[in-house]
């Protein structure tokens, strides 16, 4: 390696090391990639540009982890069980196959990272040979189109059983694409779409068609809009908050739905158990020029005067956000779904207690799992005969009839709206059910 090449390699080590460590820690500890990146980034002291590169490498590694694992196993003649080495090879191969990074930069930095690690000093030659082979055989690797290659087996089994094999395969393929950037605007969506070269979706969100730094977009400083997936924007709209109504947003952070409710003129209480996440919510509201009362508390134990309307975006497995957070597929397991459904039921029961007679409750989760959606809604109605479902009409969600279940609930899938935004189409997988609390006079004896 020449002096110039070595200098270039050294300059590129920081973001690759951060991506490598973040992927390794996220898999090892089964915690969200974003949390690990936030934890590890300060130690690297990277520029915003290099931090963005590290995140891009880590995200695409998780998005195509199945493909990367298969490709590497095929090219590791002796195999290895060293997870740290496999993750280093994975981030190197991810750059070669799926990012606009020169092959030599991906290979040379991976080799240097191995040589700098006392546990992997011996593996520099192996890393060099395997990644160079990946680069040579790029076309053959990318030609493999098994829709399930990048989905863990537990999710394949669940989705095939719930949605049927054809729809499940479309979900899996949608997760290979980069998620869109959608905005919720305070008013005049067509005008803002024109200013940002975006498009207005049938649901009312504005979708960006080009990647741009969010803070550089027109309207950011003025607080004219906020980033929110098109599907995530629907539950608050379905609640139909009105000016002066007393509304609770339970499990509110990061605050997109709180902003929607506040923008509608409601008197909003935003509740979240994480003070750190609630602080971010408050900062977002300040930028937007919106006000809401915030409370750092466990929503299960909330004791307030009854509300006119409640939005409960319950903690869930988040399998509907895999396009945006592909680490979810590999850091969550089937056992997590069971634990979370019990929590969701308890939160629903508390919300029912906090709602006025005649009040409205919207329950939602960013999950594709029936236990956290359709079955949870049915179970709630069985436990609470004083509640009835208030069916959702397609006209309320931009005439997307495919997103309304026979029971009248909302169910979006990652391939819905796929044509809107080119290779960044689609939307998060969301479930939402709307209920109304009957008055005592209307309740059955």
CB atoms within 10 A of CB 38: 12
Which sequence positions are flagged as catalytic?
366
Whole-angstrom CA distances from 313 to 102, 373, 423 are 42, 11, 28
Strands 206-208 and 199-200: antiparallel
205 close to 233: Cβ distance less than 8 angstroms:
yes
The 10s digit of each residue's pLDDT in 364-412 is 999 999 999 999 999 999 999 999 999 999 999 999 999 999 999 999 9
Peptide bond into 254 cis (omega under 30): yes
End-to-end CA distance of the chain: 84
Task: Kindly indicate the confidence band of residue 170, based on its pLDDT and cuts at 50, 70 and 90.
Answer: very high
Closest CA to 32 of 318, 322, 331: 331
Cβ neighbours for 308, distance < 8 A, ≥ 6 positions apart: 245, 246, 247, 356, 359, 360
Query: Which of 185, 194, 197 has the alpha carbon at shortest distance from 226?
Result: 185
Q: Quick one: which of 124, 84, 86, 120 has its CA closest to 108?
A: 124
C-alpha to C-alpha distance for 183 and 273, rounded to whole angstroms = 26
State the Cα–Cα distance between residues 151 and 227, nearest whole angstrom: 27
pLDDT digits (tens, 9 = 90+) for 263-322: 999 999 999 999 999 999 999 999 999 999 999 999 999 999 999 999 999 999 999 999
> Tokens at residue 64, please?
């195509």
**Where does 240-391 have alpha helices with state H?**
256-263, 275-288, 328-331, 334-354, 374-383
- 235 vs 240: CA distance, rounded Å: 9
Q: Are 176 and 59 spatial neighbours (Cβ–Cβ below 8 Å)? A: no
> In a 10 Å sphere around its CB, with 0-12 CB exposed, 13-18 middle and 19+ buried, how is residue 313 labelled?
buried
CB atoms closer than 10 angstroms to residue 305? 7
The first and second tokens of residue 239, run together, are 């609640």
pLDDT of residue 2: 42
**Domains of the chain, CATH where assigned:** 3-142 (1.10.940.10), 231-442 (3.40.50.150)
pLDDT tens per residue across span 342-362: 999 999 999 999 999 999 999
CA distance 409 to 287: 33
% of the chain exceeding 70 in pLDDT: 96
Q: Counting beta carbons within 10 angstroms of the beta carbon of residue 8, is it exposed (0 to 12), middle (13 to 18) or buried (19 or more)?
A: middle
Q: What distance in Å separates the CA atoms of residue 180 and residue 192, rounded to the nearest whole number?
A: 17
pLDDT score recorded for residue 11: 74
Beta-carbon contacts of 118 under 8 Å, excluding residues fewer than 6 positions away, are: none
């Amino acid at each position: 390696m020449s002096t110039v090449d070595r200098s270039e390699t050294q300059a590129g080590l920081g973001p690759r090391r951060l991506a490598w460590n973040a992927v390794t820690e996220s898999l090892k500890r089964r915690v969200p990639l974003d949390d690990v990146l936030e934890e590890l980034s300060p130690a690297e002291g990277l520029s915003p540009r290099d931090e963005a590169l590290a995140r891009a490498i880590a995200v695409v590694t998780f998005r195509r982890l199945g493909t990367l694992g298969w490709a590497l196993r095929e090219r590791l003649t002796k195999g290895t069980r060293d997870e740290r080495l496999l993750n280093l090879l994975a981030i190197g191969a991810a750059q070669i196959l799926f990012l606009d990074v020169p092959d030599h930069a991906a290979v040379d930095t991976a080799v240097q990272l191995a040589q700098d690690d006392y546990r992997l000093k011996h593996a520099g030659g192996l890393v060099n040979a395997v990644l160079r082979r990946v680069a040579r055989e790029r076309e053959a690797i990318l030609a493999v189109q098994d829709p399930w290659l990048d989905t863990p087996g537990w999710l394949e089994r669940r989705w095939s059983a719930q949605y049927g094999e054809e729809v499940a395969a479309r979900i899996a393929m949608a997760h290979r694409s980069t998620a869109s950037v959608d905005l919720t605007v305070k008013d005049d969506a067509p005008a803002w779409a024109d200013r940002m070269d975006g498009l207005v979706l049938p649901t009312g969100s504005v979708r960006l068609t080009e990647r741009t730094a969010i803070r550089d977009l027109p309207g950011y400083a003025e607080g004219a809009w906020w980033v929110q997936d098109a599907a995530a924007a629907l539950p608050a709209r379905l609640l139909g908050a009105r000016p002066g109504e007393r509304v609770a947003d339970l499990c509110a952070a990061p605050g997109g739905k709180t902003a929607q409710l506040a923008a509608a003129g409601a008197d909003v209480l935003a509740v979240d158990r994480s003070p750190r996440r609630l602080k971010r919510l408050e900062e977002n509201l300040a930028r937007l020029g919106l006000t809401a009362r915030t409370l750092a508390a466990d929503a299960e134990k909330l004791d307030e005067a009854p509300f006119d309307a409640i939005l409960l975006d319950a903690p869930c497995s988040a399998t509907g956000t895999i396009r945006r957070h592909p680490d979810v597929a590999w850091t969550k397991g089937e056992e997590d779904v069971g634990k979370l459904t019990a929590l969701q039921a308890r939160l629903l029961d508390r919300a029912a207690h906090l709602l006025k007679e005649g009040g409205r409750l919207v329950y939602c989760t960013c999950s594709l799992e029936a236990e956290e959606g359709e079955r949870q809604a049915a179970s709630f109605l069985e436990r609470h005969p004083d509640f009835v479902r208030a069916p959702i009409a397609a006209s309320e969600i931009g005439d997307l009839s495919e997103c309304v279940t026979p029971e009248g609930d909302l169910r979006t899938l990652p391939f819905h709206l796929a044509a809107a935004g080119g290779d960044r189409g689609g939307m998060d997988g969301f479930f939402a059910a709307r209920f109304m609390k009957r008055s005592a006079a209307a309740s059955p004896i």
